[in-house]
Structure 1
Amino acid sequence: MFDAAPPPGQNRRPLPPAQSPADGVPGPHTPMRVPRGPEKADRPGEQRDGKPRDAFFDNAKYLAIVLVAMGHSWEPLKSDSRILQGVYDVVYTFHMPAFVLISGYFSRSFDLSPARLKRLITGVAVPYVVFETAYSLFERYFNHNPGQDISLVYPFYLTWFLCALFVWRLTTPIWRLVRWPVPLALVIAMLATVTSHIGDVLNMQRLLQFLPYFVLGLTLKPEHFRLVRRHSVRILSVPVFATALLVGWWAAPRMNTVWFYRRDSAPGMGAPWWTGPVMTLAMFGCAMLLTACFFSWVPGRTTWFTAIGAGTLYGYLLHGFLRKAGEYRGWFDEAWLHTPLGEVFMTVLAAGVVTLLCTKPVQRVFRFAVEPRMEWAFKQDPAQLARERRLREHAKVSA
């Protein structure tokens, strides 16, 4: 009377094929690879998607974050030394542009897919909320500043980078559509320096003035980095950096260091409006020249600090608490720190501390704040779950 029921699964629709993850961006698991937990993705030399990590970029990120920490340690001391002020200005010309450029390079394949948005939320938005709250409470109670409010629209101290990175990545699909993304981003940055009415919401001045470096990173390809890593470029970078240090020493008493922070407009610094666009172009050119020299010196082989380079966000976000504690408690007021020997000591100390903060033990302790998994907060993709279940079953049969 009735037709025989078909075998289970015969009329089911086939599962969609797994997409290949993009470079530097976590994606679905590749075939025959069974996920075993977070420790599997955190092995040295391996990305979350199973692809081998490029040692060059981990090395570059580590060296850049060391320069960031050293620059912060120089701030309370540079007024007593023209040499240190000159070195500080040179480092601030390119260290954050290099960091932002690398962030843009690894955001090339970002789109508005659920997997990418989930990673953006857990890897950028949630850490921003956590550390914005933590820094505000640290300022309120450790510095006895009851007027410091917790506000997610006014980034405090180092959290501006997470806020900016969130916005930059959301705009990535737009930059992939326009014909001349870098010139357009430069025009936006130049216009931002003209007016002082943008305000401090989302630290918009920094967000817009650093935007060209992020957009440039989106447009770069691996061959561009191979180009600046040639032996001839490495040799030419020596006189370039030497010249930059001489110019920095000469300009130290003549130039307003605030330009390097890119957090104010030209009128906000008391300068004519037209100096904003001019300085934007000049600093972009100088930053790119020194960044190319910096990349030419970054080793491409695996070194003792390559694995540490994978945890630079930990060092960036955590070292600020020690830097602020030193400021609040007057540690930098010690007279011997304002001598050449003291400056060298603070430089080495800053490099050592930020290195320790990027290591695996520190990552394990603070992973809940910097890289929370938060699987409970998102809907599960049935197709992805079925695909992973089939992979596990296949692995058991193969074993």
Structure 2
Amino acid sequence: MSTAAAGRTRRIPIWDNARAACILLVVLGHAIQRLTYDSDIAQSLYFLIYAFHMPAFALISGYFSRSDPPSRRRMTRLLTDIVVPYVIFEGLWTLTKFLVEGQANPNLTQPSWTLWFLLALAIFRLVLPYLALLRMPLLWTLVISITVGYFPNVDATLSLSRTLGLLPFFALGWWLSHHRILERHGLLQRRRLSLRLAAAAILVAAGVCAWVFVGPLKEMNLSQWLFYEENYVDLVGWQWWAGGVRLLLMALALVLSVSFFALIPRGQYRWTSIGRYTMYVYLLHSFVLYPFRESGVLRGLDPTWLWLPLVALLSVAITVLLASRPVRRVFRPLIEPRPGWLFADPDLTRSDGRRNDPTGSRRPGAPSGTPRT
């Protein structure tokens, strides 16, 4: 293999590191949610995490997505990597709620808890080739995201409100990859110390502001704004300026995401491999946290300075455990199904050594180069 070819197939650790950090924030955000009822510090951390962690995930997913017309194999993978796991885990959640709560509402159009992002990924992938045909696609996605909040009939059905709300971040990730912005400016290899200090200062300042103004932020129902799920009417009524609030929050999310990525290590570490298996953590962690959240053991914990770090450590342990090989071996049939019986051509479901995580992570042993390979 030539040097140029080796460079194209070499795995770039920063993306696995970024995915690992993002999935940890997902777990941490869900783990501390019950603590926010009793602790302003936990609430402040919750605001900070939710201000950017899913936009950051959407950016990464877009960076590793392709806008050319999909091949039959890519179309098959959309079903096997996203749609089929969604159906499987919706069924598992229906069963769990029936056994624990004695009631369940099986409805594939209403995603359970974390499963909304699977539908969002599927819709992102479906619409991207069409967006790529337009002039100024980023502007169109921004208009869609802001405008959709004015329509009360666009709701959580098929996670459409969140999907369209976060679409600009996904499209921006694709645009950066398509135009090779990061590679051309060497941003994947080097980081100036001044840039890292500025990024850390921005994140710290955002956290301090969330803590100082936690009262007013709770009064304005900031959490619901950050979910990109509720329409403006439910949040503030028929106010013409509501779209401007979303625009400001999106700008904040972008600044915090860039700062977050600037602090991501570029090297290979033992924990880097977690980024290859974010789907395992994403789909399984909610089942691990469900007993803690529903039993009430995370309520009224005092002092916060002790329990909040302990819950954070628990989140790290859950993330590492769910990305481990034994867990992957047990749950692979559910998370990486190969339902050849479902397709007219079963060969399309067979691995060709190039399978991707739905968020873009190439599986170990497979070539991993530029996002469009």
Whether 1:167 and 2:123 are equivalent positions in the alignment is: yes
1-side partners of 2:343 and 2:78: how far apart?
13
**Partners of 2:41 and 2:101 in 1: how far apart?**
31
**Aligned partner of 1:201 among 152, 157, 169:** 157
- 1:349 matched residue in structure 2: 314
| SS of equivalent to 1:253 | helix
Structure 1 residue ranges without an equivalent (≥5): 1-29, 31-45, 389-399
Correspondence for 2:292 among 326, 334, 338: 326
| Partner AA of 2:232 in structure 1 | A
Report matched runs for 1:288-327 at 5 Å: 288-327=254-293
Spell out the pairing of 1:106-117 with structure 2 (5 A cutoff).
106-109=64-67, 111-117=69-75
Match of 1:278 among 219, 241, 244: 244
Contact 2:58–2:170 under 8 Å retained in 1: yes
2:54 alignment counterpart: 96
Displacement of 1:72: 0.8
Q: Which residue of 1 aligns with 2:359?
A: none
Secondary structure of 1:196's counterpart equals: coil
Distance 1:68 1:275 in 2: 30
SS class of match (1:227)? coil
Residue 376 of structure 1 and its aligned partner are, at CA, apart by 4.0
Deviation at 1:273, TM superposition (A): 3.2
- Report the Cα offset of residue 79 of structure 1: 2.7
Question: In 1, distance between residues paired with 2:22 and 2:76?
Answer: 27
Relative to the length of structure 1, the TM-score reads 0.79
Q: 1:150 and 2:106 equivalent?
A: yes
Residues in 1 aligned to 2:317 and 2:291: alpha-carbon distance in whole angstroms:
17
| Identical positions, percent | 33
Q: Distance in 2 between matches of 1:379 and 1:51?
A: 32
For residues 67-113 of structure 1, give each alpha carbon's deviation from its aligned partner in whole angstroms, at most 9, with x where no partner exists.
11111111101232222222211111111111111111111256321
Selected match of 2:146 from 179, 190, 208: 190
Q: Distance in 2 between matches of 1:187 and 1:128?
A: 29
Which amino acid counterpart does residue 190 of structure 1 have in structure 2? I
User: Structure 2 vs 1, CA of residues 308 and 155 (structure 1 numbering), >3 Å: closer, same or farther?
Assistant: same
Query: Partner residue of 2:215?
Result: 253
The residue correspondences of 1:42-53 to structure 2 (distance < 5 A) are: 51-53=9-11
Tell me the amino acid that sits aligned with residue 87 of structure 1: L
Q: In structure 2, what is the Cα distance between the partners aligned to 1:220 and 1:261?
A: 24
Equivalent residue for 1:69? 27
Distance in 2, Cα, partners of 1:100 & 1:376: 32
Structure ranking higher on relative contact order (CA contacts 8 Å, 6+ apart): 2
1:381 offset after TM fit, Å?
Answer: 9.0
Offset at residue 379 of structure 1 (A): 4.2
User: Are 2:323 and 1:358 aligned?
Assistant: yes
Please, which runs of 5 or more residues in structure 2 have no aligned partner? 354-373
Pairwise CA distance, 1:270 = 3.5
Aligned residues: CA RMSD? 2.6
Deviations 1:229-271 (A, max 9, x none): 6213212112211221122113311121211111101111234
Query: 1:98–1:291: 8 Å Cα contact kept in structure 2?
Result: yes
CA contact (8 A) 2:35 2:301 kept: no
Counterpart among 332, 336, 339 of residue 371 in structure 1: 336
CA contact 1:194–1:273 (8 Å) conserved in 2 = no
Q: CA deviation at 1:58?
A: 0.6
Q: For residues 109 and 121 of structure 2, what CA distance do their matches in structure 1 show? A: 14
Mapped contact 2:155–2:230 kept (Cα < 8 A): no
Q: Which has the larger radius of gyration?
A: 1
Partner Cα separation in structure 2 for residue 245 and residue 365 of structure 1: 39
Q: What is the distance in 2 between the residues matched to 1:337 and 1:112?
A: 53
Amino acid at match of 1:374: P
Aligned to 1:135: 93
Q: TM-score, normalised by structure 2?
A: 0.84
Shift, 1:327, TM fit = 2.2
Residues 1:338 and 1:198: Cα distance change in structure 2 (over 3 Å): farther
Using the alignment, how far apart are the partners of 1:262 and 1:382 within structure 2?
Answer: 39
Corresponding residue for 2:364? none
1:86 corresponds to which residue? 44
2 CA distance for matches of 1:382 and 1:252? 54
2:315 partner amino acid:
A
Of residues 187, 208, 233, the one that matches 1:227 is 187
User: Is the CA contact (8 Å cut-off) linking 1:62 and 1:308 kept in structure 2?
Assistant: yes
Deviation, structure 1 residue 338:
5.8
- The answer (yes or no) to whether the contact 1:142–1:328 under 8 Å persists in 2 is no
Equivalenced residue count is 337
- What is the CA–CA distance in structure 2 between the aligned matches of 1:191 and 1:99, rounded to whole Å? 22
